[in-house]
Amino acid sequence: MLNPEITVKRLPTKTFNALGKLGQAPHTERALMQGGLIIERATKQNITTQGLIDTGKMRSSVAALVEEWNKVVVAVRVYYAFFHEFGTRFLPARPFLRPALDENREDVARAVANYFADQLRKLR
């Protein structure tokens, strides 16, 4: 099955060093998930806005998932999502996943940074 995915990967090493007291894995997962949920919501909104809803199965299959402690993937888990995103010879491309990332990149970075800032404040 083809699944379009966008991955938010790793924070810079110097960020990890500064946040060493927090313990990297659980906090990194939670921080990245904050960003992944923004992309998940935007993807679902794009599917709705573009009228790509017939049964609602594609929209409900969108999910942000922790794949590793430093990796969150936003996936659309129906095979035909690929055809809508990239188009075919007979179907024009109607991207919904890539625009969700492109339009929310700053919000994702802000959400991840805010999570870590909140955690650091709790340590004081």
4-61 tens-digit pLDDT: 444 445 555 655 555 555 556 677 788 889 999 999 999 999 999 999 999 999 999 9
Count of alpha carbons within 13 angstroms of residue 34, beta-carbon side:
17
Over range 108-121, report the average pLDDT: 86
Q: How far is CA 34 from the centre of its chain?
A: 8
| pLDDT band at residue 75 under the 50/70/90 scheme | very high
Phi, psi of 71 (to 5 degrees): -150, 125
3-class SS of residue 80:
coil
DSSP state of 21: G
**Lowest mean pLDDT segment, chosen from 37-41, 80-84, 101-105, 116-120:** 116-120
pLDDT for res 36 = 93
Domain-wise residue ranges, the chain: 5-123
Length of the chain equals 124
Q: Which pLDDT score, from 0 to 100, does residue 3 have?
A: 42
Place of tokens 């946040």: 19
Q: In the numeric block, which tokens belong to residue 83?
A: 């055809």
Phi, psi (deg, nearest 5) at residue 4: -65, 135
Residue 124 confidence (pLDDT) above 70: no
| Half-sphere exposure at residue 56, Cβ-oriented, CA atoms within 13 angstroms | 1
